[in-house]
Structures are given as C-alpha cells and as structure tokens.
Structure 1
Amino acid sequence: MGCKSTKRLDKTQSLVTRLEVNGVNNQFAEQAKDFVALEVRPNSRFNLWFYNTFNKKGNKKLGEAPHILDSTLVEASRLQIEKFLTIKGYLNAKVTDSIHIKNKKASVIYNAILGTEFKFRNVSFEIPDSAVKNLYLANRQSFTKIDSGKRYDTDSLAYEREQIYQLMKKNGYYDYVRQYMRPTVDTNFNKGVADVKIAILNPPDQPKHYTYTLKDTYIRIQPSSGIITKGMTRDSVVLDSQYHFFDYSKFFKPKKLKTYIFLKKGDLYNIDNSELTTQRFFDMNAFRGISVDYRKVGDSTDRTLAGLIDIVPLKKKSNRLEGEYTFNSSITGINLGVTYQNRNIFGGAELFEIKLRGGLQFDKKLSGNLSDRLLSRDYQVGVSLSFPRLITPFNFPDLGENGIPRTRIGTSYQIYKLQDNYLRRSLGANLTYDWVETKNKLHSFTPINIQYSLADINPILVQNLIDQGNAFFLFTLRSQIISSSLYSYTLNLSKLTTYSNFTFFSGNAEIGGNSAALVSQLSKKTNSDGQNTLFGVPYYQFAKLEPDVRFYKSLGGEKQLILRLNPGIGYSYGNVLSLPFEKQFFAGGSTGVRAWQARTLGPGNYNRSSLASDSVRRNLRNLDQLGDIKFEGNLEYRFKLLDNFIGAKVKGATFIDFGNIYQLRDNGLAGGQIKLNKLFDQTAIGAGFGLRFDVSFFVFRLDAGFKFKDPQFSGSDQYVYKYWFNKSEKKAFRNNYAITNGPDRYSLSQIQFGIGLPF
C-alpha cells in the first residue's frame, strides 16, 4: 500500500505519514493533536486506500484524499498548539516544528517546551448589586474552577461566565446577558501566578439587575403543515386562569397537554422551565417543532412576562415498512412488517399502533419447488395504545418532571407453523407502566402479561420424541397459558450514543403462574399428565432473571471499547417443571454470539447428531436448541472509517463473542445440562469484524462472525479455527458433518444484518 499511496504524487509533493507532538503532558496530549490541521495529520490507511481505489474516474467523494504536506498549514498548526498551551496555563510555552521527507513521505514533528505552569492565586469580586453578589457567592463553590492553587486556565474563566449566566437565568433575571461578567487577570511572570478579579456589571443606566415573574401563558398549536392561512379557524380555551390555548390543528385536548407546561403564573422566570417544557413536548412524540419564548407585559414597576409557546404537530397518521433478510448455510429467511400509527387518537398525544408482521424461512437443501422448501412461517398482528401519563386506580403524584410516564395497553395474535409438524396459535394481552426516575434511571412494570396458546403437534413427531426419550419437548410445545408480571430497570440508556466512560445496566425480573394457580383451584381440573389446567390447558409457574451489564470506555475521538456481560436464568416449579417455549433462552444471532445464527448454538455440549435421524433433526429445527440458563459476553472495539460514503458515515468494529445456553435440569438432552466444572468446555467463542453505516436517522449494521471454539464437539476438535485457512481439511470436516448431522450444514462463518448497534 505504501508505494501505491504516493505513486500519483508530483515530484514536489509529499504525503504526510507521521505526526508527533512531543513535550506535552498526558493530560493535554490528545487535545494538542486536535489543533493540528487535518491536512497535516496522516490519512487513515483504509480511507486512503478506498480513495485511491475508487476515485480513478475523478469522483473525489469516496474515501479520504491524500494529505499532502503544506508548510503553511504546518506553521499555522504550530501557532494553534502554542495558543492552546497558553490557554491551559503555560503562558511561556514555546512550540517548534520540524519536517523530515523521504521517498515522498513526510514526518511532521512538533516539540513543546511548556515552561512554568501558572496557577490562580488571589480571587476578588466587583459586584455592585448586593442581591446578585449574595446569589453568586452562595452558589459559587458548587461549580467554580477558579480557586487559589488551581492551574490557571482561560477555559475556566469561560466556564465561570457560563455558569453565572445559567444561575441568573434560573433565578428570575430575564435581561441578564453573558457580557455582564468581565474577568480581569493580572499575571506575575516571575512567580507563575495569576490574580483574578471577577466583575458582574449592572445593566447600562440601571442601579441593579431586576427579576421578572410570569403571568399568563399563550399556547398556539399550528396545523401539521406549519402554515396558518388567512381565515383559518381555531379552537380556543383558557385553563386554570393562566393557559390560553389556540389550536389551529383542532386535534388536541388542552387539558391533557397542560400537565407538561412548567411555566406557572406567579413564579420567577426560570430558563430551566422553558427547556423542560420544550423537552417534555418533544418526548410525547406528537410534535415536530416546539419553541418557548417570552414577552414583557408589565411596566417599569411591574416586571412581568407572558409565556409564548408555539407548537407544530407531526402528521397525525403515518405508515412504516420494515424488512429483514437472514441466511446461514442452507437456511434463508425473509421478514416483512408494516406499522400504522395514529399519534393523537384521543386528543392527548396518545399513540395508537397496528403492526403486521410476516416471516418465511426456507431450506435450500430440500428438494422440490419453493413451497416445498418452506421450513417455517410466522404471522403476527399486534394492536397497542400508549398514553403519555399513568392511568391507574391510585392517585400517583405527577411524574413528568424527569420524563414522560406512559401507560401501554397491547394485544397480539400469532400463527407459527413449522412445516407440517407443528402449528401454534397464540393470543396475548399486556398492560405496562413506564416512568422516569431521573434522566438516567428508567423503570417499567408490567402487572398483566397473559398469553393463551393452542398447539397442534404432528402425532409422528410426538411418537418420535417419546421413543427417543425426548418427551420433555412436548411440555414446551403444547397448548398452554402463561400469566406473569415483569419489572425492568435501566441505567444510562441516554448515554449509549455518546463516547464518554460509563456503565450501562438493564435488568429484567419476571414471575409467572401463581395467579393462574390460585384461579385453577376453583375448578380443580387436570390433564392426562396430572397437571392442573385453566381454560382447558396447563399453566406454567416460573421465575426469570436477566441482567445486561456493559462497560463503555472512550479511547479518544470516535474510538470506543465495550465489554458486555449478559447472563440469565429461568426456573420452573409447581405445575410444569419446564419453562414455556417463549420464556426459554437462545444463543447466537445478531446481538449475541454472532458467529452462530440465532437458535443454532447449545445448549451446553449438545450435538444434534445425537438425535435419531435426519427427519427428527429437521422436525426439531428452532425447537431443540433452547435453555434455562444463558451467559453471553462481548468485547467490541469501535472506530471511525469514513466520514462520507454515499451520504453515510462509516464506522468499523472488531469483536470477540463468547457464551452459550444451558439446561438447568437433566432432561435427557445429551450434553445440555450445565456443568460448572466443565463450564469452559461448554463455552462457544467467536470473533469477527463489522461495518456500521450511519445515515443520521438510523444505523445499518453488517457483521461477519467466525467460529473459533464450538462446544458441540469434544477435546481439541472444539477449536474449529484450524479449518479457517486449510481448504482440504475444511472440506472433509464439513462433508463428515453433513453425514452425521444431516440435513444440517456446518458453516465456519455467519453474516449478521441489523438495524441499530448490537448493544
């Protein structure tokens, strides 16, 4: 690549391939490099290769153009680094540069001599308004970075100005502007100290700063077009003798909206309440534009403000089409979905949704036409209604200050058919409450979650399972009723799109069947297995716990390292000693161990060759590789590749995934039960790389995972990476697998498509 990267350059040109900034302490080393002009920094090798490969016809929008040495930019960058160091307290800092060129490749080296680190010494104040002075001094220690002994930093002065501005704006000072705060710095170069005087000046020709209180608030709701035409009528109403609504859309009920207006008559002006009102209206997902402003309505003695809120709604109705294509070895699948939304069905920003989903899975190894190769079909319809408030029989306090609470009611119907062997029809209903404790702490509670399923199992499959000693599968496949309650807690969800250092946590706890057990005691009916039934089918009693812990580490710029641990356990008891099909864990897939397709890994050391025949393996696809315990982990490094690739920002990732699922009890599935003394032997390991195409409103993801260690084999045979680069051995291995595990086919790699990041 080295020769190719310079061969198109003129004799007088050199490609910048190396950059060093020496003499700067670790605290500021990365920041100092940011002040070097982009053209003086080395290209990303991938970006430059991409540019040279795909720009041969003159299109220069792909990849990144070569960074050609420009001595003018080198000098400008030197001055910027020197200025940066001065800002950070090294007032005597000097920076020199040197350029070394060999074979059209240039190295740019900056050497800094920092000199004395200046520190703040004396801090004094000049604030003629005593009320402002008392307010500032009472709150100063909670935010200031200017104290005797601390490093002098011009950014600290700017930060102080901003914090004073926010403090004043939160305490009624509507007319206050940042320029009223003026710092004066007196430096003693011999002693390396800086004395600072902070002045907060009064407004011109005024003896002091004045506070303002709020009077009435006027809310205008425009039509979704954002255009109010001449002669357009409106609905008008006044609530609480202070909120004047003018609704040109005629869609909304003002009483349901006023809960999220935080401008109260008689309160002091507070900029936080303006921002809070704006954010809560956006959170309702019913508006595309919100502005909050004020108008002075009092005279020089009655300093009052009228609140002005202008709102533009989203279109009331919308449709969305979604699609997904999956493939692995001989199995391919397609999923399509249509979603209809009505964002304001009852006039209070309620969200009504109808979702239609359909999925087909094919096995290309099967003979016949396309319909003969159809492995499974999955059809779903769901209806849900979400209210931006808590609807309960209890009088809960208003929980809207930190986020919009929601009440969600939903019902769904699903038909799932696996060839001619299994048919399942399920009807479900749920009630969920979501609320926000703080910006980073989210809660969700589902007190009612019911699913009633009727199943039709091919008698031949039933007999095969019984004859082979795998009758336990019938407990998860047959007709059943599941009633449960679920609680979820999420920490730091809002930080997932940042590059800061933080820990993310999400935990789900579910318990089910106990209410059904109480109700069934009234009828005391049982089935042929002696299990109690409700509405003619057995019910399940279980408890399930699944935490998801992630550690995000910023590596500077858009580079990030993430460690994720995702364990889970489900325990069945009482009526049926098996978890329901929907509550069991599976491994693999686009957010798990990505070298395996979903539901093709585990449990434990289970190998499908232990099943009696090809037909049994075919009939049990997607049914036998489930577990009561899950442990998956991921280590992923993310980095930027291209700033612009056909309108998208391209980011890369490399990853190592590990984990598996396990059976808690010995149900006869060979190798499926968890063995703590053989846990590593039962662990799968995969590695790979991926691309993420960020087009601002969603991220399209493509990951390639490669099997490194496969627990379905034993001993050294688990380390299947040995077949990565040995074609003859790989071919023999796959041919043998096709004989012992037919109709399954073995693939050392798996391509995963997805929308959004995996975690």
Structure 2
Amino acid sequence: MKRVKEDEHLLISNTVLVNDKKNSTEIINDLVLQKPNGKLLGIPLRLHIYNLARPNIDSILTARYYNPDDPNTGAKKLLSVKQYNAWVRSKKNFNEWLIKTGEAPAIFDESRAERTATALKKYYFSKGWFDVETSFDAQKDSTKRARVTYNVKTGDPYILDSISTFIKTPVMDSIYQNQLKSKSLVVSGEQYDEANFSAERDRLTERLRNLGFYHFGQDYITFDLDTINTNKKINTELYIADRAVREEDSITREPFKIYRIKEVNIFTDFKNENRNARISDSIAYQDYNLYSFDELKYRPKAITDAVFIHKGDLFRDIDRTRTYRYLSELRAFRYPRIEYVENEADTTLTANVFLVPRKKFELTGSFEISQSNIQTVGFAASAGLVIRNIFRGAETLEISGLAAIGSSRDASDSKDQFFDINELGGNLRLSIPRFFLPFNTDRIIPKYMSPSTRVSLNWTSQRNIGLDKQAFTGSVNYNWFPSTKVTNNLDLFNVQFVKNLNTDNYFGVYQNSFDRLNQIAQNIDYIADDTNLSIPTGADTFINDVLSGDTVLTPQDDDYIDVNNISQRKDRLTENNLIFSSSFNYVKNRRESLFDNDFSIIRLRLEVAGNLLSNISRAFNLPRNDDGRYEVFGVPFSQYVKTEVDYVKHWDLGRKNVLAVRSYFGIAIPYGNSNNIPFAESFFAGGPNDIRAWTAYNLGPGSSFSTNEFNEANFKITLSAEQRFNILGRLNGALFVDAGNIWNVFDNVEDDRATFDGFQSLEDMAVGSGFGLRYDFGFFVLRGDIGFRTYDPSRPLGTRWFKDYNFSNAVYNIGVNYPF
C-alpha cells in the first residue's frame, strides 16, 4: 500500500445502515465527512497518479543533479547552465502536477468518523427522530485497509400536536390570525421537520415586511417546543417579540408599527460630487418628485414607470426589489440606490431613489481576420453607435454596420481581382422599456413583469458567396417575465426578404447535386463519358429534357426520380423568399443557479406566417402567378404554421454525476400560398448539439441516402440522454445516446424514403452513441464528443445496427458548453 504508513489504513468503503437497512441516498452520502478515493470504471485513477509523485522530490533532485562530489551529474556536459536548471525545474513541475492532478490516499481518520456519526444524529434529529442513536464500526484488516459501517437507530418520530401563538404587537397578531395563519408551513399532525420551521420563519419575515413592518426582522421570531410527558407529541408556540429599540446604553421594547410611504424623491443624475450641490431642475409627476442637478433629460413617465414604490402605499420590500431590477434593465443608469428615511412622528417613510446616468453616446467596434473552406483569407470590420435616452423615455438606439472582404480559393487561379468576396450590412435596433402599443396593457401584463419592446431593421448584401444574396429583415418584438422562471416573447411582426442574385451558380455551389446529375447524363449517353454538363445551361437543359420525356428515362426509373428531386430542390433553394410571420415563445427554466444540477427547462414556440398577406390578397382579388400563388412585389410569400417543443431535464446523482435527457419535437406545415417550407425555416439533423454520430445537415431525411450538402425537412424528432461524471479535477466525461431524424410531411416531396407516413416511419429513427470529454474552465466548458452510428436508417433493413461502428467512421465533434 504505497503512501500508507504502518499505523494507517486506507479507507475502502463506507456503509450507512438506518434501522439495519442500507441507505445510500445523496443526502446521507453528503453527511459522510470522509470518503474513499474516487474511482473510474472501478479503478482509483487519481490515487494511482498521486502515487507516481515523489514526496521528497527536492532532496532527490539535489542528490541526482546537484551533487558536488560528482562533476558528471546529469547532462551538465550537454546543456548550458541555464538550460540545465530549466530541465531540472521541469522535473519538479511535473512532480507537482502529479500531486495536484492526483488524489492523496484516503487514510481512515477516527475523529472524522466520530464527526460523521454526530452529523447523522443531527440530521435525523432535525427530521423529528429525537431519540436517534448513532455509532460507527471500523473494520481494519492486515492489508492496511479499512471499511466503515455507520449504524443509525432512529426510534419513533415526534409528531406536531397543538400549535399556539403569542405575538406581542396587537396589530401584527391580528394580521397573522386573519391573513397568514392559514398558509402556515408548520402543520399539526405532521412529523417534525426543522426545515419547515426555518421556511415558516422566512415566509413570515417576507410577508410582514411586505405589509408595512419596516423594522421587522427574522430574529424576532422564535418557536418554543414542549415534548415533556407528551408521548412523542410536540406542543408548539410561535412567539414574535416586540421591536427592540436601542438607546444610548439600554434597549427598550415597543410594539411594531406599520409604515407608509410619505414621499418618493427621484434624483435622476446623482453623482457623489453632487451631494452638496443645489438642485437646478425639478418636477412633480403623479405623486413623484423628480430632481436634477442639471436640466432634466428624461420624460417623467419614463422614470416613474420603473419605480414600484408609490406615495401612500404600505412599505413593501418587494417594491424595492422590483424597482432595482427594472432600473437595471433600462440599461440607462449605473448603480441605482434606494434609501428610506424614517419619519417617526407619523410612522411614514421618505423613499429616495438615486440614479447615476450612463453616457448618452457610446461607440463600439471590432476587427477580425478569418479563414474558411470558402475563402483563403477574409477581413471584417464593424462599427456601432449606441444612443441612450434618444426620445427622453430611456429608450436605447443601436446603429451598427458591417463591411467584409475576402479572397476565395479560386481567386488565385483567375485574372480577376484578388479580393473577390464582399459583404455589407447594417443594423438598426430600438429598445423601449415598455410596451409600445396604442392601448394600455398594465392590467394584463403589470409593470413588475418588466415589459419591453424591440424594433429592429437589418440589411445585408453578399457577393461571390454561394448564390449571392441580399436580405432584409424587420421585426417588432415584445418581451416580458411573468415570474423569475418564465420568459415570454412575442414577435408581433417579423418580415424577412431574401433575394438570390446569382442563381446561375447553383450547381457551382451544390457540387454534389451536379456530380450526380452529370453521372446520370453520362450513364444514359446524354453526354460522353469524358465530358461534363456545362453550368448552368447544360445542366438546366438536361433537367428539362428528362422531365419532359425527351430522354430514355421514364418516371419509374430511379435516375428519373433523382433528377426530379434535384430539380425540385434547385427551384426551392434559388427562389426568392418573402416571410411575413408572427410568433410566440414561452420558456420556463427551473434552474436556480449555474451550480444547480437538478432542474428542468421547457421551451415552446408557435409561429404563423403568411395569413395576413393571404387575407389581403383574397380580399382585393389579386392575380395569381403561373403556379397559382399570390405575389408581393413579384415574390410569392410563404404561408405555414410551425411549432416546436423542447424539454430538458437534469438529475443530480451526487459526486459530480449528472443524468441529462432532452426531447425535441418540431413541425412546419405549409398551406395556402405554399407547398413547401423556406430553407431558412426548415429543420436539419446532426452536429455537435444534435445527433452527434452524424455531422450537421448530413442525416436524413428519413431513410434516404442523400448526397446533398445540406439535408433538411419540415418535421423533426430528437431524443438524447447523457450521463456526465467527473474523471479528475476539472476534467469530466460523458456517455451519451442520441436518437432522431428529419422527415418531409404535408409538403410537395414525394420520395417515400424521405417522407413521414405514420408510426411505421419511426423505424427510420437514427441512433448514435458515444462518449466525450469536457474540461471546465469555470466561465465556459470545452467539449469534445465522439459519436458512433449505432443504427443507420439509410442502410437496408436488417443491416442497420452496428455497421461502421468504429473509430475510422466515427464523427468527432468539438463544442463549447454542454449540448443541452
């Protein structure tokens, strides 16, 4: 037993027996103060790493490399003095790394075992087993190993019986009896639980401080418990003392008083250097007093809407909390501060709100150099201007622009200019800290939900990138928070217009489709084996000849079907898109903090597009194009309904072990003016945050074996499960299984392999499995996953399981943070 001394024993296991039954729940395991060395697949890996380190490294290095009696020590003849010393230090640094990365032997400590037994006793006592007895037994063997068993005998639990109250302040006693008592967390007939008493103390403190009791605090609440001769029954008395008033050298008691707000003063441009300066501008607005050391730069309503403290109201802690939050969300002020000044004569409070404005104008900018599979080198620069309080209502206007140039990989083979890629863009976004509507919504969505409006316009133009595009988007968006865990988002209008400028380059971009088309043309002797279809004329002519029956192919031939699919995809991806939609997003996140590993998140989204334009077109009896579709400015608009459901659940299994699952369902159904879904609104499968055994866009649809660069469809199902565990230090591991696919449904795709035809199509659900490593840097997690194709639906039935299940056919993913 390396590193274990003669009189020591290595702790091998802990067992907790509660009334002679083993208990290994997370709560009980956390109470055990000394644990055996951690294991990976049954092996104490970190212990072995620690044992590789030398405890007396300094003396070893001195004797081996700095021995004055041996002039030929080490590599002195080969290295300079500086190099030699650095080489020796590296050995010491490596030894320190082994110690830091590894884990010292868990030597059994009897004092810590005694403390564990005491902790177990305190825990069960706090849960109502007042007669609990605990002990431990350490079994030590000749191999210097120790196994510890903790024994807990709980006895019978104590039950709450009578519950009485003694509240010194009469007005507080009246409020408790009439408003607070019925929802008490301390209930007669239940088993005693210390946590319930603590939670009840918190509840009463919060409620009373929100009912005007400005000086009240938790320390005034006590519970007296009587268990003498009660046959394991507990008689409880809730006692709330009078207010303690400290005077010079004594403390007196007096009843608590209810305080109201006498005045609310808002200092809109407070700074420390202005503390003794004179107010130069002031205004009274709806019972608020607004003061400014310079000219008042805000409309009064814009400020008072953010303040939940009202003149004449009872003092409420929650009003202060909501005011802080709303003022921070305005992004117009730094360090908001709220102070209450007590007016003892009439039991009122003066609330002073101090605001420190941010700068009205702020410039932003960035510059980056990039490289990709499209360009050998690219340069991009962006600049922006932030204007705060632009309309004197705490609004924020952000104006930004983007310019980029690059050199494509083909530029060096041409006599054209070197920088043959360019992109220009502009963005305008106005944030308004309230709902911008012609009617009042306060009764439906109160101010405490932090309602806000965002209006944005965006334009981009790309040249020599794919098909070359011009895109314009505009939206009016509303956001609000019904609770700390729920977020609602409504896109009242969202307009997207995409114009393809270079559709003749389609087969130059989607080379896989062109190669398949060219191969079919050669197979049927449409062109010679050593020639290729020209782009775009030759490829387009061949497609037209096939579909019009001017070749040897018939609609029943697989090659004919492939040409038809290529034609449909080309038409879809080269057409201009106009999307006029509205959508609603709902998110409920039960996670308490970044360290909470036991939570759930549900995301719901509903989007409807094209209905308004369709109704207007029908109302005015507008003409249809040759395909029977209405157009706006010469572009057919999209009409569809789209919904998505995303549910994530995490279970904390203790000792840095987490089980995470995800289920996702999405469907987009075209109707009316559309028979398919725009590419930008389609679903894809694969990638580091999806089915990880396939690269992004490479899976599906259905059981089809597509060679398209981008595979997409309008129906998607994804199911994932991941077991996360700690390996050593900040290095974590994961085992995962992903299942899912995409299909076409209710659209114009006719390929049976790519369409969803009912429950039988679920046999085309792909399954990937694998493992990964994650390194936690604290502020982000670097993730690497290896996915293996466990069930491949593109293969014939009977040959889908565990084919190509090896590292050479695996998919290697790198990502930042967890996939879900």
Determine if the TM-score, normalized by the shorter chain, exceeds 0.5.
yes
Q: Distance in 2 between matches of 1:74 and 1:485?
A: 65
Letter in 1 for 2:178: A
**Aligned residue in 1 for 2:664:** 566
Q: Which stretch shifts more, 238-247 or 522-531?
A: 522-531
- Picking from 436, 439, 442, the partner of 1:397 is 442
Q: Distance in 2 between matches of 1:673 and 1:508?
A: 23
Structure 1: runs of 5 or more not aligned = 1-5, 610-619, 731-746
**Aligned residue in 2 for 1:736:** none
- Picking from 569, 576, 583, the partner of 1:480 is 576
8 A Cα contact 2:282 2:296, kept in partner? no
**Aligned residue in 1 for 2:26:** 30
Q: Distance in 2 between matches of 1:261 and 1:559?
A: 44
8 A Cα contact 1:484 1:510, kept in partner? no
- Picking from 337, 347, 360, the partner of 1:303 is 347
**Aligned residue in 2 for 1:492:** 588
Alpha-carbon RMSD: 4.3
**Aligned residue in 2 for 1:684:** 766
Structure with the greater relative contact order (CA < 8 A, sep ≥ 6): 1 or 2?
1
**Aligned residue in 2 for 1:81:** 120
Alignment of 1:286-435 (within 5 A): 286-287=332-333, 289-299=335-345, 302-311=346-355, 317=362, 319=364, 340=384, 342=386, 344-346=388-390, 348-353=393-398, 381-397=426-442, 399-415=445-461, 422-435=467-480
8 A Cα contact 1:351 1:387, kept in partner? yes
Letter in 2 for 1:35: L
CA 73–447 in structure 1, closer or farther in 2 if over 3 Å, else same: same
**Aligned residue in 1 for 2:308:** 262
Q: Aligned-pair distance for 1:66?
A: 4.5
- Picking from 135, 138, 156, the partner of 1:96 is 135
Q: Distance in 1 between matches of 2:381 and 2:766?
A: 32
**Aligned residue in 1 for 2:223:** 183
- Picking from 739, 746, 758, the partner of 1:658 is 739
Number of residue pairs aligned between Structure 1 and Structure 2:
708
**Aligned residue in 1 for 2:680:** 582
**Aligned residue in 2 for 1:545:** 643
Q: Which stretch shifts more, 106-115 or 547-556?
A: 547-556
8 A Cα contact 1:501 1:553, kept in partner? yes
Letter in 2 for 1:263: I
Cα distance per residue 1:642-672 (max 9 Å; x no partner): 66x4xxxx65543221111111246355721
Q: Is residue 217 of structure 2 the alignment partner of residue 136 of structure 1?
A: no
Q: Distance in 2 between matches of 1:564 and 1:390?
A: 34
8 A Cα contact 2:3 2:105, kept in partner? no
Structure 2: runs of 5 or more not aligned = 54-92, 245-251, 505-535, 547-562
TM-score, L = length of structure 2:
0.75
CA 400–236 in structure 1, closer or farther in 2 if over 3 Å, else same: farther
Letter in 2 for 1:76: R
Q: Is residue 326 of structure 2 the alignment partner of residue 280 of structure 1?
A: yes
CA 153–211 in structure 1, closer or farther in 2 if over 3 Å, else same: same
Q: Is residue 734 of structure 2 the alignment partner of residue 673 of structure 1?
A: no
8 A Cα contact 1:416 1:423, kept in partner? yes
Q: Distance in 1 between matches of 2:580 and 2:133?
A: 69
Letter in 1 for 2:490: F
Q: Which stretch shifts more, 309-318 or 186-195?
A: 309-318
Q: Distance in 2 between matches of 1:641 and 1:232?
A: 61
- Picking from 726, 748, 758, the partner of 2:810 is 748
Q: Which stretch shifts more, 72-81 or 21-30?
A: 21-30
8 A Cα contact 1:14 1:104, kept in partner? yes
Q: Aligned-pair distance for 1:96?
A: 0.9
Q: Aligned-pair distance for 1:283?
A: 3.4
Q: Aligned-pair distance for 1:269?
A: 0.9
CA 260–113 in structure 1, closer or farther in 2 if over 3 Å, else same: same
Q: State percent identity of aligned pairs.
A: 23
**Aligned residue in 2 for 1:713:** 795
Q: Distance in 1 between matches of 2:540 and 2:52?
A: 59
CA 71–222 in structure 1, closer or farther in 2 if over 3 Å, else same: farther
Q: Distance in 1 between matches of 2:420 and 2:102?
A: 42
Cα distance per residue 1:294-344 (max 9 Å; x no partner): 121342xx111111334456677475879999999x999999896857373
8 A Cα contact 1:335 1:357, kept in partner? no
Q: Distance in 1 between matches of 2:407 and 2:763?
A: 32
8 A Cα contact 1:488 1:506, kept in partner? no
